[in-house]
Amino acid sequence: MYTSRIYGASPPWAQSWLLSGRAWIRGMLREGRGLRDELQDLARTERLDAGQLQALQLARLRERLVQAGREVPFYRALFARLGFDPRDFNSLDQLACLPILEKAQVQAAGAALCSDARIGPRFRSTSSGTTGSHLQGWRDLRSIVRENAFIWRQLQWAGVRPGDRRAWLRGDKIVPAAQQQGEFWRLNRADRLLMLSSYHLTPARVGAYVEALERFDPVAIQAYPSALVFIAAVLDAHGRRFGQGSASPRRLRAIVTSSETLLPAQRQLLERVFGCRVFDWYGAFERVAAIGTCEEGNYHLLSDYGYAEWQGAEGGQDLIGTGFDNRAMPLLRYRLNDRVLMEPGGVGCPCGRAFPRVRAVLGRGQDVLYGVDGHRVFMPANVFDDLPGLVAGQWRQHRPGHAELLLQFQQGRGMAEADVEAVARRYTGEAIDLEIRRVDRIERTAAGKLPAVVHEFAAA
């Protein structure tokens, strides 16, 4: 919606109403009784003991395996080749009979990984995550509602309730990149959500952002860590704390971060400047694993979301996940290319939940482009989601204010340079000089990774 001509040509007040209308329609689909039922189920499963959680995982894995073998061409062929009958699945250890699924295989398989049964409406989405490797996925409506329930359970762990005022500082292009004056936020009345543009943040504008947040007086802020840390660092450098300029009572109870690794020093800075606790959420576009933060401030692997396996030992384990809920495109034993540090087995938590403890999430970097005036573009990998036919992409910065955009398209597909630049400018505005290069291949690191952003200078 943000890139539509109607939205772009509308005045700010009309854009706020368009956002509100869109949210109302989405709420009709994703919330209501369906969400309440899922939240009730999650309130039950989060209090299961370890044995009950294991039984739950076994039952839901068997259900997903049987469905995949019956409805998904990729798995029908794989199970036949291996002689694997999911109806005989009666132990979690049996899952190791299946090969690990890599991202490149998902890209190559395409529609063969989608259910060919009639399961109702399906919704397509794309993501490059924090890498430049493009991925397309499909979700069914029930899985979307359930994902929403997991996110709301995390918000409830943070002390937030439906109807509470929230602020949102993430990757939504709610303000046209070309706009350089006026307000860089819009009000979504349907969700009681103040949505702020992360693409217009500069040191000189931080004061206006903070004033808007203080006037709105949210109970919670949901944000990319890097974007909110940018604001906190400017306030801290001037000896300021959030809420000092507000005449109204401060309701801010929690910050909920996601999509990037939250570093300990960043958490400390946010809690010091904003005066509230920080709750971090790890999710994945592929919907195969999730990690939340409980009221005690500890990370937990959510055993009622999916089944996780690990590869590696010292220095972190590679996360491999099998999701329970997405019937439209089930992914079994999918390697997420993210690493975590697990707490030793048996380490409990005062919150009383039996979900395994996670010491740290290691595998996501803060991807930022730097402008010459202090301007920063957060999560620029989002650009790749808007380029049809893209195989892989990468931003390279040799100096602040200038960036190369390397793009590898599918054979016979692609976009004119002017069209690519128009898409990129939606995110960067004019703060970055762009050099667009179409390439046959983008070099990976020695570990086989494809970082979305490479800085060839000492980034601040």
pLDDT range class, residue 209, cuts 50, 70, 90 = very high
* Pairing, β 277-281 against β 254-258: parallel
Measured from the Cβ of residue 88, the count of other Cβ atoms closer than 10 Å reads 10
Q: Is residue 9 part of a domain?
A: no
In this prediction, residue 26 carries a pLDDT of 76
For the domain that residue 266 is a member of, what is the CATH number? 3.40.50.12780
Residues counted in the chain? 460
Q: Which of 165, 192, 163 is nearest to 253 (CA)?
A: 165
Q: Based on the fold, state whether residues 191 and 331 are members of the same structural domain.
A: yes
Domain presence at residue 10: no
Residues 352 and 282 in one domain: yes
Q: CA–CA separation, 219 vs 107, rounded Å?
A: 40
Residues 360 and 393 in one domain: no
* Total domain count, the chain: 2
What integer is the mean pLDDT of 17-21?
Answer: 87
Lowest-pLDDT range of 71-85, 379-393, 431-445: 379-393
Let me know if residue 289 belongs to a domain.
yes
- Residues 84-90 have a mean pLDDT of 95
pLDDT digits (tens, 9 = 90+) for 300-334: 999 999 999 988 755 567 889 999 999 999 999 99
Domain end call among 346, 366, 386: 366
Is the residue at 84 inside a domain? yes
DSSP code string of 344-392: PTT---TT---SPEEEEE-S----EEE-TTS-EEE-GGGGGGGSTTEEE
Domain boundary among 349, 366, 383: 366
Residue 6 domain flag: no
pLDDT tier at 146, thresholds 50, 70, 90: very high
Statement: residue 447 has pLDDT above 50: no
Residues 58 and 179 in one domain: yes
Band (131; pLDDT cuts 50, 70, 90):
low
Say if residue 375 is in the same domain as residue 308.
no
Pick the more confident residue, 350 or 17. 350
Asked whether the predicted pLDDT for residue 454 surpasses 60, the reply is yes
Identify whether the C-beta of residue 300 lies closer than 8 Å to the C-beta of residue 292: yes
In this structure, the answer to whether residues 28 and 176 fall within a common structural domain is yes
Q: Is the domain of 33 the same as that of 130?
A: yes
Residue 132 has pLDDT above 70, yes or no: no
Query: Among 30-44, 101-115, 242-256, which stretch is predicted with the lowest mean pLDDT?
Result: 242-256
> Tell me, what amino acid is at 362?
L
Q: Is residue 55 part of a domain?
A: yes
Residues 386 and 303 in one domain: no
Considering the domain architecture, whether residues 124 and 220 belong to the same structural domain is answered as yes
pLDDT in tens, 54-63: 999 999 999 9
Residue 269 reports pLDDT greater than 60: yes
Rg (CA), the chain: 22
Average pLDDT over residues 275-301: 94
Res 217: pLDDT: 93
Give domain status of residue 7, yes or no.
no
Whether residues 334 and 384 fall in one domain: no
Domain span holding position 103: 16-366
3-state secondary structure at position 147: helix
CATH number at residue 391: 3.30.300.30
Mean pLDDT of 340-369: 83
- Residue ending a domain, among 308, 331, 366, is 366
Residues 351 and 447 in one domain: no
CA distances from 128 to 76, 78, 110, 353, 428 (A): 28, 26, 15, 33, 17
5 has which bridge partners?
none
Evaluate whether 312 touches 339 at the Cβ level (below 8 Å).
Answer: yes
Of 35-49, 126-140, 179-193, 204-218, the least confident: 126-140
C-alpha to C-alpha distance for 111 and 431, rounded to whole angstroms: 39
Looking at the structure, do residues 357 and 376 belong to the same domain, yes or no? no
**Region 214-237 average pLDDT:** 90
In 3D space, the residue among 340, 292, 320 whose CA is nearest the CA of residue 45 turns out to be 292
